[in-house]
Amino acid sequence: MESASTFDISTAFADVQAHVDKLSPELRILSMAIWNRPETAYEEHFAHSLLTDFLAGKGFTVTRHFHLPTAFRAEFQSAHFDPARHYTVAYLSEYDSLPVIGHACGHNLIAICGVGSALALQSLLRIGTGLEGRVICLGTPAEETSGGKIDLLNAGAFVGIDFCMMAHPSGVNITKPDFIGLLECEVEFFGKDNDAGPEPWSSSASATDAAVLLYTSLSLLRQKLNAGNQIHGVIFEAGKPQPTGKSYAKCHYYMRTPTVPEMDTLKQSFQAALDSTALICGCTVKREYAIAPFEGLISNQLMASLYDKYAQQLGFDSPDLPPSYGSTDMGNVSNNLPGLHPVYSIGESTLTLHTEDFKAAAATAYAHTATLNIAKSLAMVGVELLSNTTSAQSAKLAFSLSPASCFQKAVFIKQPNYDKLLGEKMALRFGSMLKIRPLSMPTAIRTVEFTQGRENDDLTDCPIPPCPKIKFSPKYDNDHAYKTKFYKDYLLHNVHMEKNLINTIKSKKEKLGLIRAAIQMATAELAELSGSSTDHTESHQTQKPKESPECT
């Protein structure tokens, strides 16, 4: 990737501030229009039309109904933008409301924050300043329910995006909030006789009893959970007369943990409580888990530092506060590409999301001004990334080595023999220590996206066999040199270490050794997939990685 050698960043912040301030009246109209007309998940038709019409009028190329009926993609690129040489920055807008209470989560502000940041960056890309790149405003519905960003990720909507950002209103300022993983489960109990019948004592299977017993059991379980692990729920329905004459109860539970291994453990405890409750009460039970759980947020360290640099100039600090443990579908995005999701104050520190007080605060002039200042800061992060190749590459490297809070599909189809490769002392449990992070759509990956630092060149000395399981676009399908480099870069830059491992390793050489080991394991798997001989695969598994200089 190339930097904008002729771009003068010294005046950019003043230009960004002036442009956002000029847009303030229009953004205020957008915000209040959305606030006054709340729409719940996947029903945000008014907000979708309002925002897409506005962005189209500002010179963006807009794709309406982008993969989802109420999602959109609005993009603008510099005159000489080349996807092989320049970066793409995306700002995310949310605009769904809560049922009944309306915009008590401030998504009207998130909507204009994303739009304002994108417009500010566009203003520098369009006037011939020497800044080259592409800016995207991505409209992401349904954060409050199943998570529209997860649907968009699965549809490939983030392909070709190098960095993504958004911000959420709150009662406090936090650059790197502790958003953790979330798994929801809907539970239904089916008993025998109606709980509201004239002789309830005759029923040997009460769904209401089961709902109450499960609630009590999980309340006791909470005492034994590790810090940061949560489980809570609500009984939606119990004890009502049913047309079938049978006892029925319905509950909804939420499980939150920082990491997937912890989530697996908590889910096992939840299921044990569920099954034993059904057995004791003589009921049948139906459970339905969320299709795609929210993953923990990975805040990119380099992007966070750039954000602080500008936000602090606008009066924002990021105090050392105790973790809050909320959840967001932006966590899933941040597990796929470098991302940032700060929260910022729109009022008193006692403000709580999803309340009438927060809804009122989201409509104030104070909240509007705070949102514009955050939009300016995020816009400048984009400017820094587009104008400075070193910053952009550092952000990508920080992402590659970030502690992974959750584990997605691995490259491996089968578990490699870690003991054989690493020896007994360094053996790693699959899925809990190291992961290979696949991208959503490998066909869109460009070689230059994975430029490597010189000190890491020797990490890619493993020969990479062709793999028919990974499909390339026609442009690159017959380019063997491209494919070889793709495999090497793909493996190196998608190795991530889980938090509890990276925190226990002091030596950078040892970390690099583990990364090299993971590359070798993935190489062996690629060899298997491509139909290479067993002997060839084994030679890679037993090859001892050579020493590498420490990263600087």
The pair phi, psi for residue 545, each rounded to 5°, is -60, 140
Rounded Cα gap, residues 389 and 377, in angstroms: 19
Can you say whether residue 100 is alpha, beta or left, with left for phi > 0 and alpha for psi between -120 and 50 degrees? left
Residue 470 near residue 482 (C-beta atoms within 8 A): no
Q: Which two tokens stand for residue 372?
A: 């514009």
Q: What share of the chain is helix, strand, coil (3-state, %, to 5)?
A: 45, 15, 40
CATH 3.10.20.310 fits 9-178+296-400, yes or no: no
Question: What is the pLDDT, as a whole number, of residue 164?
Answer: 98
Beta bridge partners of 249: 189, 238
CATH 3.40.190.10 fits 181-289, yes or no: no
Question: What is the pLDDT, as a whole number, of residue 343?
Answer: 96
Question: What is the pLDDT, as a whole number, of residue 474?
Answer: 58
Pairing of strands 163-165, 339-340: parallel
Question: What is the pLDDT, as a whole number, of residue 131?
Answer: 94
Question: What is the pLDDT, as a whole number, of residue 188?
Answer: 95
Number of H helices, E strands in the chain: 16, 15
Question: What is the pLDDT, as a whole number, of residue 507?
Answer: 57
Residue 158 near residue 339 (C-beta atoms within 8 A): no
Averages of pLDDT over each 10 residues, the chain, 552 residues: 72 97 98 98 97 98 97 96 94 97 98 99 90 97 93 92 97 91 92 64 76 95 87 90 81 88 90 94 90 85 94 85 78 92 94 96 98 98 95 85 42 34 34 32 28 31 38 57 54 41 51 56 52 35 33 27
Residue 199: partners with Cβ closer than 8 Å, 6 or more residues away? none
Q: Rounded to whole angstroms, what are the CA distances from 285 to 191, 250, 257, 265, 282?
A: 9, 10, 25, 21, 10
Q: Which two tokens stand for residue 450?
A: 């994975």
The burial of 300, by beta-carbon neighbours within 10 Å (0-12 exposed, 13-18 middle, 19 or more buried), is given as buried
The domain limits of the chain are 9-178+296-400, 181-289, 408-542
Beta bridge partners of 75: 61, 136
What is the CA angle 116-339-382, rounded to 5? 45
Question: What is the pLDDT, as a whole number, of residue 86?
Answer: 95
